[in-house]
Amino acid sequence: MKLATQLLHGGISEDPTTGATSMPIYMASTFHQHKIGQAPWEYSRTGNPTRQAVEALVADIEQGTAGFAFASGSAAIMTVFSLFSAGDHIIVGDDVYGGTFRLLNQVLSRLGITFTVVDTRDLNAVTAALTPATKAIYLETPTNPLLRVTDIQAIAAIAREHGLLSIIDNTFASPIVQQPLTLGVDIVLHSASKYLGGHSDVIAGVVAVKDAQLAERLGFLQNAIGAILAPQESWLLQRGIKTLQLRMQAHLANTEKLFSFLKAQPAVAKLYYPGDPDNPDYAIAKKQMHGFGAMLSFELQPGLDPQVFVEHLQLITLAESLGALESLIEIPALMTHGAIPREIRLQNGIQDELIRLSVGVEDITDLKADLKAGFDAVMQ
């Protein structure tokens, strides 16, 4: 089945008891066990029909064999990290989500799990970071907010060679653009609060794997930790996923057009977009992505005030988050990456003038007109 069909007919797309073509929301904490040990459902933390439907769908669209749904992307990440024990070491991409760093720095480190941060585009740096205690390589591609692209197949090969798990946070790409499990990665996860949900109305996280033993370990942890996705949210998420292909097509088309538009702006000093042929990561992006994603970052010329720019936009919403139908814009230095000390932030290439845009599906003419108002304001 092709991906566009899987989105609609994959997983458990119909209620087996009633034939309802939209899986009902099963608001039940517990289930009558007519015969002990033979009931299909027992208790909703362990398993719920609505959650199971979305979990099966996620497994299908990531080309895995098992899917898991969590109360947030952060809960999904924490549950995956719970595979590791005191003394274990993880190699982590240097540009991963701030909340992931917070978990590593302030929670997992207290539990005796250590990590080394590297630019995972540099495969020699990844290999150099290996220690006898290393158990996994964890990364995002494209990264946030500089949209750097790592060679997924190469990382998966290094992991396999050294007996490590490879884990990818696929939030920025979505399974339409990139399917890490097909490139040899062991665990793929998402903040489903972004593209998978797509409508800015649900906080959720998902994980998908291929390997049966890994699925069993994650299923155990999901039930033991209990950070599961509730039935209402599970339903909202599967409803969002149904239109993922349609939404992504519109997102990707608008992004390509805005890339050309931004490239022609004298106020733009630098553009970050994996689909830019001048981008050093372009060849790898072209090899592993279908479309280049719908995130664009750009730096204004030194001295131009990004705050003036974003505050003169009428349509594009000044907000954190991404992957929504509506375009969202933010200034990493003041918002999503504001907690990082300025010196370190600059070292990581995140200038004060950097603006991150999550391109929505509005009419392109309106988006361009809105951005033009921002440019007019900063150029005055």
Ligand X SMILES: *Cc1c(COP(=O)(O)O)cnc(C)c1O
Residue nearest to ligand X (CB): 73
Of the candidates 48, 52, 179, 191, which one interacts with ligand X according to CB under 6 A? 191
Establish whether 363 is a catalytic residue: no
Binding status of residue 336 toward ligand X by CB under 6 A: no
The contact mask relative to ligand X for 290-319 (x = CB under 6 A, - = no) is ------------------------------
The contact mask relative to ligand X for 111-140 (x = CB under 6 A, - = no) is -----------------------------x
Burial-class residue 30 by CB neighbours within 10 Å (0-12, 13-18, 19+): exposed
Establish whether 194 is a catalytic residue: yes
From 125-133, 186-194, 216-224, 292-300, give the range in contact with ligand X by CB under 6 A.
186-194
The residue among 13 and 74 lying less far from ligand X, judged by its C-beta, is 74
Binding status of residue 72 toward ligand X by CB under 6 A: yes
Give the Cα separation of 97 and 117 in Å (integer): 13
Of the candidates 203, 284, 294, 316, which one interacts with ligand X according to CB under 6 A? 203
Give the Cα separation of 256 and 364 in Å (integer): 10
> Between vectors from CA 67 to CA 213 and to CA 327, what angle results, nearest 5°?
145
What are the strands of the beta sheet with 66-70, ordered from one edge? 66-70, 205-209, 187-191, 165-169, 134-140, 89-93, 114-118
- Please enumerate in sequence order all residues whose Cβ is within 8 A of that of 105, keeping only pairs 6 or more positions apart, or say none: none
Q: Give me the least distance between CB of 23 and ligand X, in Å please.
A: 22
Of the candidates 52, 74, 79, 222, which one interacts with ligand X according to CB under 6 A? 74
- Count the site residues for ligand X by CB under 6 A: 15
Yes or no: say if 204 and 73 are a contact pair by the CB < 8 Å rule: yes
Binding status of residue 169 toward ligand X by CB under 6 A: yes
Give the Cα separation of 232 and 210 in Å (integer): 27
Name the catalytic one among 51, 148, 194, 356: 194
DSSP code per residue over 26-87: ---SB---SSTTT-S--BTTT--HHHHHHHHHHHHHTT-SEEEEESSHHHHHHHHHTT--TT
From 72-80, 124-132, 344-352, 367-375, give the range in contact with ligand X by CB under 6 A.
72-80
Binding status of residue 50 toward ligand X by CB under 6 A: no
Name the catalytic one among 45, 160, 239, 270: 45
Binding status of residue 94 toward ligand X by CB under 6 A: no
Give the Cα separation of 378 and 289 in Å (integer): 34
Binding status of residue 175 toward ligand X by CB under 6 A: no
Q: Give me the least distance between CB of 206 and ligand X, in Å please.
A: 10
User: Where on the phi/psi map is residue 184: left (φ > 0), alpha (ψ -120 to 50), or beta?
Assistant: left
Q: Give me the least distance between CB of 102 and ligand X, in Å please.
A: 10
**Strand 354-358 versus strand 295-300 pairing type:** antiparallel
Residues 12-41 close enough to bind ligand X by CB under 6 A: none
Q: Give me the least distance between CB of 99 and ligand X, in Å please.
A: 5
Helix and strand counts by DSSP (H, E) for the chain: 14, 12
Binding status of residue 73 toward ligand X by CB under 6 A: yes
Find the length of the chain.
380
Name the catalytic one among 26, 97, 138, 273: 97
**Strand 187-191 versus strand 165-169 pairing type:** parallel
Catalytic residue ranges: 45, 97, 169, 194
Q: Which residues bind ligand X (CB under 6 A)?
A: 72-74, 97, 99, 140, 144, 169, 171-172, 191, 193-194, 203, 205
